[in-house]
Amino acid sequence: MKKLSHYDSAGSARMVDVSAKTETRRVARAQAFVRIRPAVLKKLPQNPKGNPLEIARIAGIAAAKRTSDLIPLCHPLMLSHADVDVTIEKKGVRIVATAVTTAKTGVEMEALTAAAVAALTVYDMTKALDKSIEITDVYLLEKTGGKSGDYRRV
């Protein structure tokens, strides 16, 4: 089994030293799904709090930029690009977040954080209409760059 790099030899949590790594272009995409009843989906355009999909998109981008403030051992990264696509589907809202940087460490956590926060924002903006909304399927879709190479979820 591969040794986890966020623990030292005594088992204590630590921030990984990436100073010897080479900077490469890194891209990650992650997704989340917000399961919403069809009747509630139809009411999204009339939401009294505003357009929940646009607010969620902006919240996700802001979250990507603040990931290291939320996840204790994440390195602060200067993002070159962050974007969140929010799409209404038959059973809810699909969120796909992208994060891009040129750095010594990857942007998977930034993409995942963006997707999760965007999903939480959709919930926050629609909870008055339905408390049974579910956030599901938060996962990494793909990542490129870095020593470990490319990954694509199949």
Indicate which residues carry an active-site annotation.
124
Close Cβ partners of 112 (under 8 Å, ≥ 6 residues apart): 28, 30, 97, 138, 139, 140
Six-digit token string for 67: 């990931």
Outline where DSSP puts E strands in 8-69.
24-35
**CA torsion through residues 118, 119, 120, 125, sign:** positive
The CA distance from 56 to 132, in Å, is 18
Six-digit token string for 24: 């490469």
